[in-house]
Amino acid sequence: MDQIKVRGGKKLKGIIEISGSKNATLPIIIASLLTERKVVVRRVPDLADVRTILELLTFFGADLNFRSGLNGKILEIINTNITVKKAPYELVRKMRASVLVLGALVARYGEAKVSLPGGCAIGTRPIDIHLNGLESLGASISLEDGYVKAVAKNGLIGSEINLPKVSVGATENLMMAATLAKGKTVLFNCAKEPEISELGRFLNTMGAKILGLGTDKITIHGVDELIGTDFTVANDRIETGTYAIAAAITGGIIKLQGAQTNHLFSVFDILSKTGVSIVEDSESVVISRDNEILPFDIATQPYPGFPTDMQAQVMALLSLASGSSIITENIFENRFMHIPELVRMGANITQEGPTAIIKGVKKLKGAQVMATDLRASVSLVLAGLAAEGETVISRIYHLDRGYEDLVRKLTNCGADIERVAGI
């Protein structure tokens, strides 16, 4: 199994081109199932999660062409010959986002069968909200041998649905399903993440009629069919935040090409309060730090609050702050599994339930550590960049799920980092 080795202590300096958004790309690819016309998606990040979704669409019968372009990968999709409406466990278990095919398949074909996704390393993420919402749209839901079966032979019917809990996945699944439902659907208590708005804009270019994107009330007027489109995915805000912390934690200066601060305001606001310099223009953001890292308290919240996907990275930064910080995790119950690994590197962090108390130390030291999930693994890379000596990170397949060309991008900024083949 491959490992990443980092020899820290170098101030990073250079330019990093931000890739297309992973969390927007995945539902966009799935939403292509809603039409038989050709769909072109540009700036698709070449990630393990993307490859998993493409494998699933190929299994359904999609005709795909994933090729290099001038500004990232281009994906061409034609879903004319979809013959399979079942998502097997072997594919769904690799990535929970696969459950999003449920809404698209039942909306277009009147039936779908999707394996239950099972547990998740960062906490349980039940799909009850998805299923109850589809039932409200007229689908008949049943559970058979570990699979969810949804049937709507006469099509879905628009409805008013009040989501009992803010859920990104449920908002996306029901929004996709409602585009081909008869009549009007109103979703209340929607998640407001930018990736949902990006999905909505993609669907609208296909002829959908979706209003209220970016708010907690989304209205969808169903249409008879959707058409093809040519769409460019927005840049990845979590990748932007991660590399911003790479500059901050090493005391370097990095220009994040294509990055913007508007969808990551909560993160950049906190970085500025910890002593990080942020200079933005129309096409990039320059991150640098000359002074000590100041402590700060954080609580993760649904968007526009501080994102749970940036919690581990900021914890690595605050482990070197000149004082004590508190991080409260309000989204996932098991998203502190990086704490023991950071402690192995010399961090002073204690956990009390959903709260982590971080007492800043003067330096971190390289160690052998193990990644537990996507964002935890990159937090260990960040810590390794700032640590004395060598840090060896195992189970880096998590990184492959969400960071395109991470080693190359950091190497280009002067990091001493390499990927080595495991035994």
Last residue of a domain, one of 232, 264, 281: 232
Do 170 and 312 have their domain in common? no
Last residue of a domain, one of 232, 249, 280: 232
Asked whether the predicted pLDDT for residue 123 surpasses 80, the reply is: no
Do 246 and 393 have their domain in common? yes
What's the domain range around 47? 22-232
Residue the block writes with tokens 């669907």: 203
CATH number of the domain that residue 128 is part of: 3.65.10.10
Q: Average pLDDT, stretch 58-74?
A: 93
Taking a C-beta distance cutoff of 8 angstroms, is the pair 179, 220 a contact? yes
The 10s digit of each residue's pLDDT in 270-316 is: 999 999 999 998 899 999 999 999 999 999 999 999 999 999 999 99
Do 302 and 281 have their domain in common? yes
- Identify whether 190 is a catalytic site residue: no
pLDDT band at residue 120 using 50, 70 and 90 as cut-offs? very low
Give the number of domains in the chain: 2
Do 210 and 289 have their domain in common? no
Do 224 and 242 have their domain in common? no
Do 174 and 257 have their domain in common? no
State the amino acid at position 227 in one-letter form. Answer: I
The distance of Cα 298 from the centroid of its chain, to the nearest Å, equals 20
Do 217 and 250 have their domain in common? no
Tell me how far apart the alpha carbons of residues 242 and 249 are, in angstroms, rounded to a whole number. Answer: 10
Do 38 and 56 have their domain in common? yes
Do 247 and 345 have their domain in common? yes
The 10s digit of each residue's pLDDT in 229-283 is: 999 999 999 999 999 999 999 999 999 999 988 899 999 999 999 999 999 988 9
Q: Average pLDDT, stretch 190-195?
A: 97
Which of the following is catalytic: 58, 65, 69, 120?
120
Question: How buried is 385 (Cβ within 10 angstroms: 0-12 exposed, 13-18 middle, 19+ buried)?
Answer: buried
Asked whether the predicted pLDDT for residue 124 surpasses 60, the reply is: no
Do 209 and 336 have their domain in common? no
Last residue of a domain, one of 232, 254, 283: 232
